[in-house]
Chain A
Amino acid sequence: MAFLLRNISLSADGREIVRTSRIRDDLIKVGRDPGCDIRLDDLAVALHHATLEQISSSQVGISAEAGLTVEIDGNTTQGGQINTVTGGTVKVGPFVLRILATEMGSDDIAIDIAKADDNADDEKFDTRRFALQTTLPGKRTLSWSLAAAVLAFFLAWPIYAYYQQRGAAPDAIASGYHADRLWSSGSLSRGHASLQQNCAACHALPFESVRDASCTACHTQVHDHADQARMRTATPDLGGWRRIQASIAGFFGQDPGRCVDCHTEHEGAQEMVPTRQQFCADCHSDLRGRLADTRLGDASNFETGHPQFQPSVLVRWDGETPRTQRVSLDRNPREMSNLRFPHALHLNATGGVAQMGRRLGAQYGFGQQMECRDCHVPTPDGVRFAPVNMEADCGMCHSLAFERIGGTVRTLRHGEPRQVVADILSWARGNRAEALDLGGGPRSRPGDVNQIRAAIQFARARADASPTAMASVRQAFTPDGACGECHQVEAPASGFDFRIRPVAFPVRYLQHGWFSHRPHQNAQRPGRPMVTDSQACLSCHTANGSSDATDLMLPNVASCRDCHGGETTSLPVPSNCAMCHDYHIDQGVPDALLRQQVRGRRWTTTVVRAQPVGAPAAPPRTR
């Protein structure tokens, strides 16, 4: 009974060297220790790693020392057996102990001992491993995979989202995340914030720039600035560069005059930027030169280049119909309202009007003298003034009362001259009847005389007019009478068919420009103190110097220019075109002002910068 060991190693040229030894024992030690029967000189092998023992004629037992393992026929274990008839393999560290099948007639157990290939060391020291590449994914793999990811995430997904939204209801689009937002180059303006989720609301068709139809789908009330053909004529000759730009834009189907030319979006969550003065001046500074038939004056800058105001003035009457006409204030137009009214008289601080005002002050809230507001009532929005109403605005002083019966005051009916005539005649007759004591009264003496007298008096009373009544009626319609002092009267040649010329005022004088009285309630011209109430009115409207109702007391451009300059100015109020004029012309407040209001910048006063000390105090200029 013996173990036949065959140590197999390889020479440098790959030749196999076999050293054979025979150990006559049935138990041999395997380990690194020099005392072991099978010495395996590798640090992976313990000093005494395992023991091989012949258990029977056909069984070899292998047992590893405590805490160590061996690999028997591929199984890592602490111990096991190998049939010597079939043979087997035991691996200890890097060594392979191959127990060969026992030859017939032999008791020796043959074991081949060899060290496993040491290729691992060679691989470990591959010089290519100096390169960083060995620790990172390949550049090509990285490139293609990341590029594909970007295309999928930032191109394919948004396109998919677009087509998914096309058929969807707007409500459905408004919620949830849509991948096409990855394409949004910036937040929408605040006005369009609700469309942030809904790209297709404006970008209706792929590869087609935003069309006006997308805008007008919501903005149904927006006016064109002017006829497109006239605008093209009015547009100044484009320089070569801008012409090239326009032709390139045209090549891509972007015709000039589109909404988005001016209304750019994706510029951040901001309000619409105020329109620059130059934007208007581009065409309007020399409009007459290009558009010969225009009725507009050239304008480039309110301070330095703006035509005189041309208010709509009531210049004449066609019968009962008032006719207004735009007339430049430079032509000193008269207003033919058919009213007779001396403003100066009413605003006088010392005259009879003031005296009457003081007397009625407690009842009507008048002060020491009449103020503008005592007669003129602003409209609720404060922009302009309600038409003067005789009963409400004049009637406090200009009473049409003619009789008191008990506690009731009878008044003539304003606006109905025939009724006035009738009322006066009736009053005259009634007074006489009462004087005649037509009632039951004290009993009179019987007799013809009294009866005849009564009959005559009745007849007189019933007559249409007595000389006194006729005089009263005529008196009312004379220029100093109750009617004639304010109205123009058309007196009949005979009889009582008096007529009053109709009265009218334009509700709005400046049709194409915006003016609101509200921010001008307090006014302070440069170098002057701030004024309020009537003084604020009078700083623009020279009513205290007007004795004739035909005076048109509108302030002219020069008056406004005391405070209002151009877009950039040294004057207190920089004023660009959009302050008074709307590009999309309508009758309302210019959008620029509306936007200011929405943003909380309301004008309750026109605050004027204090003049530097010593600066000449300019008097208020008016027409």
Chain B
Amino acid sequence: MNARERFLALMTFQEPDRNFIWEFGYWAGTVRRWYKEGLPSIKGLPEGVGEGTGLFAECAGVPLHRDTAYDVHDYFKMDPYLVRVPLNIGAYPPFEVKIIEDHGDWYIWQEWDGCLRKELKDRSTLPTIVGGPVSDRESWEHYKAERLRPSLEGRLPSNWPQLVEEYKKRDYPLGLGQTHGFFGTPRYLMGVEELLTKYYDDPEMMKDVNNYLADFWIALFDGVLKDVDVDTVFIWEDMCYKGGPLISPEMFREFILPGYQKLTSFLKDHGIRIIQVDSDGDVWKLLPLWIEGGVTAVYPFEVAAGMDIVEVRKAFPKLGITGGIDKRAVAQGKKAIDRELKAKVPFMLRHGGYIPSIDHMVSRDVSFENFKYYREKLNQMIKRHSKAWERD
């Protein structure tokens, strides 16, 4: 099987030849640490990447020809990347990137999507979102008219026809979707606190936001799917923390679920069988709602937030699962790695629909030695559960 066939078989609970040698991603600071600890620097890291920049890896998906942590990929002989279509599904035309407030070591700056981010100037850590271009009905109407026109004009790269030709010959899985979701996108538009109170202050506006986003994304995806078929769609939410969802399941049902149902119906009508949601935190209470909304797979199941993929598999036998291996165990050392892998991976591989990976970006407290040990042990487990193993 090639990687595309393997992905389709695995995530639809058929029998692949073997599982993937894939990871979710790495913080740039982690890769820099590994260079000092023995990882050969051949391709290096992209220019200007701060320590806190996340570098997506194979299962999270990377557009073709986009810089990422290729040295890690090559050193560990990972399987081919899942490739994401470089479709801009956010603001177009983009906002001017500029500093709004300068506070010495840190600033608040406006990103291309209009989102206001508070961030250290050296980009050594993750930014936090403090606001965005939408605050009320008037600004929402203005934003959608100006920046969310349902047209592909300007939203695909100039080499799109060449990319389409490459995609048509592919042996890797192809995915659609960037950082977009029915909670994730409104958070970028408004900031978290504004969004959370807006559900009470203007519920009709929030219903319009998600209804419009569903129609808008459907229109864009429809245009892309006329050129090329895709294997999976990503939806990004990050709407949970370690105490559970940021909003109640009832609020999800009222405001979020209709958008999911509309979008996933369209995708399934177009033959897309694998629809994945990315959310950190304790996602237990939302899993049934996502499934009801047509989602077929979820990642990355953060262990620090209390997620246990073995328990998730028992509760949801046909939910695709990626991740769930505790990054903190990999930081701790060999005994903790052995314990973590043994507790989860054999069970998960036996039950299918699972792609093994650390439960988020690999953090800077993970040594190269520990990561190597973890990958060797994990690969051995994958090999033992394979029908075919062509890698040795």
Do A and B truly interact? no
Hey, which bits of chain B sit against chain A, CB under 8 A? none
Hey, which bits of chain A sit against chain B, CB under 8 A? none
